Structure formats: C-alpha cells, structure tokens
Amino acid sequence: MPIFKVFKDGSEEQIIQDSPQFSFDLNSGTKFSSVSRVIYYHKQHAKPTLIIENGSKFIMPGHTKVHPATTMQDIVHEDPALRKTKINSRTSKSSKNPNKKYKTSRFVLSTGKLDYTCNCPGTWMAKDGQCKHIKAIKLEFKD
C-alpha cells in the first residue's frame, strides 16, 4: 500500500492508501500545500529486503529505518556498479544523410570498466553491439 507525505494547512502527516494514486475529499475544507509519494532509494550492491527488528521495520543491507507500512513496491534499488561517468563524447554526421548526427560517448563505470554508447542504428545491427563510431573512439583512445 503506497505511503503519501501530505502537507496540509501547515502540518505534515503520512497517509496510507490502497491505490497508487493519491485521492482526497474536495469538500473537506482543507487547503493542500503538497503531496508526495514516500519512496526509499536503496543504493547497495545487494538487492534489498525488509526485516522487522524490535518492532521497527528496516531495509537490509544498510539498516535503513522505514515507515511500518513500507512494502517492496516503495523501494527503488539502484546498484552503484551501474553508475557511469562520462569522460569523452563525439558527434559525427551520417554518411547517408548529412542532416543526421550521431553521438558516441565513452564512460567509466564505478567498477573502473570502460563502456561505450552510440545512438546510431549500427549499434543494434552489429552482432557485438559496436558500430563504426564506437570502434573509431576505441582506436582514438587505444582502449
């Protein structure tokens, strides 16, 4: 069940609803300042799990205390190994249509491994996923 943080008339409260969409009574007479969904971002290598310890609920690993009604749907798992840092990028024109431009980028992952992307159709056509633009940037930097 989704948890919503509601600021109404200067006070904050948390509301739990069955629906993922927040709903309220327009005839209640209160003025809402804002409504936001409570989401927990889990940035660990291992997938998250929920445990109850001494009457409180926690996300493990990391031992992050959460609202008692939190479910796995309220947790977004972000594996830190997937974070990329762009170090180089090139723009090149299409050989068939000079009005089209393709962007090729060179990234370093947080694990230290190099990764490449290109938005040309050759990337998904090539068996190894490397278009001529990616091969050219690899040659340029001798990777």
User: What pLDDT digit, counting tens, does each position of 66-114 carry?
Assistant: 999 999 989 998 877 667 788 888 888 888 888 899 999 999 887 788 9
Main-chain phi, psi angles of 87, to 5 degrees: -115, -25
* Cα separations in angstroms, 59 against 73, 76, 79: 12, 11, 15
- Same domain, yes or no, for 7 and 73? yes
pTM of the full structure = 0.51
Which residue, of 77, 103, 127, is where some domain finishes? 77
% of the chain with per-residue pLDDT over 70? 97
Tokens 């290109």 belong to 118
- Same domain, yes or no, for 58 and 106? no
- Same domain, yes or no, for 20 and 53? yes
Which residue, of 38, 55, 77, is where some domain finishes? 77
Give the count of domains, the chain.
2
